[in-house]
Amino acid sequence: MKIHLMVSLSFFVAMAFGQPTPHTQNVFIVTIDGIRWQEIFQGADPAILHNPRYTADLDLAGLMYYDSSLVQCRRKLLPFLWTVVGQRGQLYGNRLLRNKMNVANVYKFSYPGYNEIFTGYPDLYVNSNHPVENLNSNVLAYLNSLEPFKNKVAAFASWNIFDYILNKRGGSMPVNSGYDTLRDDSDGDAHFFNEAQDKLVPKKTGTRDDALTFMAATEYIKANKPKVVLIGWGQCDEDAHQGRYDTYLQHLRDDDQMIQQLWYYIQSTAQYKDKTTLIITTDHGRGKKNNTWINHDSLVSGSGETWLAVIGPDTSPLGEIRVPQQLYQKQIAATIAALLGYHFTGNHPVAKSIDFKN
C-alpha cells in the first residue's frame, strides 16, 4: 500500500506542476561542424555539386549524391537521419517551411557557436577561435558537478580547441580533443587506439579525423558507460574551407553512418535502450550561394542559419517539423539539462529550453 501511495503521489505532484518525470536518463550530443541546413533538408546542392571547381569527379559524385526528387536526394545523402530520426524523432530548421533555427551570437563561426550551444549564452566577448579558456559555465560541467552524473560526463571532439571551449583545465570532466590519447585506465583497448592513432596520422593538425574521434568516443563509452557524452566532428568544415564539396558530402555521409552505429549501440545496450536522448546539431551555417558556401562569418549571408535533430523517449515522433517557428542555438544547453530533469544555471544568463513533447 505504501509503495502504491508513493507512486500515486509522485504522479499527482508531477501532473499538478505540469512537469512529468522524464524518461531520459542519458543524453548524447553530436555536433557536425559547419553543416548547412540546405544539405540536411534538400540533400546535395546541384549548383555546387555539378561545378568542377568544387567537385573532382562530376559523374561519380552525381551518381552518389544527387536525385531530382528532394526527398530522395536528402535520403541518399543522409539515410539514417531521414530513415530513423525522420520517422521516430524531430528535425528543425527547414527554412522552406519557415521553420527556423539560428545562432544568436553575432560572429557566426566555431568557438562562439560552441560556446553558445553548451553555455546557453551568446557571449560578445567570445569572439575568436583562438585557444583561450572559456570562463562561461557550460552544461556538461554543470551536470558533472551533480551527484547522479559525477564522473559520468565526457566529451570527444575532432577540433583541439574544445579543450578551451569546455575549460578542460578548470574542471574535472574528461575532454579528449584533437589528437589526444585515451587514458590506459579506461578498462578497454585504449593502448591499441593510441598506437593506431599515432601510426595512422604521422603529421597531425588541429582537427583529428572524425573516424578516430568516433573510435575514441565509442571505446570510452563501452568501457565506462557514461550518462552524458558529447561527440564533436570537424572534417566537413575543413573540407568546405578548402572548397571540396565532394569530400564535404562524403564526410557528412560518413558522419551519418557513425550516428547510425552509435544509435544502434544505444538501443542494443540495456543501460541506454529507451532511456537515452540523442541530439544532433551544428555550430554555424555557411554561405547560401555557389561562390559563398565555402565561408561563414558575420558578413556572409546564411552563416547564422542552422538546424537541430533529436530522437529519444521524451521526443514525440513528429519527424520534420513543418510549422513556422523560430528557435535558437542558445536554447540547447538548457534543453540538455531539462531532458534529464534539471534546470541549468551558470555565471551568466541561460536561454530557455526546447520542449520536444509537443
Is the pLDDT reported for residue 229 higher than 70? yes
Lookup: cell for 337: 539539462
Calculate mean pLDDT across residues 68-93.
Answer: 97
Is the pLDDT reported for residue 2 higher than 50? no
Q: Tell me: the pLDDT tens digits for 82-116?
A: 999 999 999 999 999 999 999 999 999 999 999 99
Is the pLDDT reported for residue 242 higher than 60? yes
The CA distance from 217 to 155, in Å, is 8
The CA distance from 148 to 145, in Å, is 9
Q: Which of 25-29, 188-192, 233-237, 285-289 has the lowest mean pLDDT?
A: 188-192
The CA distance from 317 to 52, in Å, is 40
Which residues touch 89 (CB under 8 Å, ≥6 apart)?
278, 309, 310, 311, 312, 315, 317, 319
- Bridge partner residues of 319 (DSSP): 90
Q: Which of 8-12, 70-74, 199-203 has the lowest mean pLDDT?
A: 8-12
Cα–Cα–Cα angle for 39, 127, 27, rounded to 5 degrees:
55
Domains of the chain: 24-339 (3.40.720.10)
What per-residue confidence (pLDDT) applies to 126? 98
Cα–Cα–Cα angle for 249, 253, 254, rounded to 5 degrees:
115
Other Cβ atoms within 10 Å of 67 Cβ, number = 17
3-state secondary structure 5-49: HHHHHHHHHHHHCCCCCCCCCEEEEEEECCCCHHHHHHCCCHHHH
Sequential DSSP letters for 156-186: EESBTTHHHHTTGGGSSS-EEETTPPPPTTS
In 3D space, the residue among 44, 138, 157, 35 whose CA is nearest the CA of residue 93 turns out to be 35
pLDDT grade for 61, boundaries at 50, 70 and 90: very high
What mean pLDDT is reported for the chain? 92
In 3D space, the residue among 166, 260, 159 whose CA is nearest the CA of residue 206 turns out to be 159
Calculate mean pLDDT across residues 113-130.
Answer: 98
Calculate mean pLDDT across residues 302-313.
Answer: 98
Is the pLDDT reported for residue 6 higher than 50? no
Is the pLDDT reported for residue 17 higher than 60? no
What per-residue confidence (pLDDT) applies to 188? 59
pLDDT grade for 20, boundaries at 50, 70 and 90: low
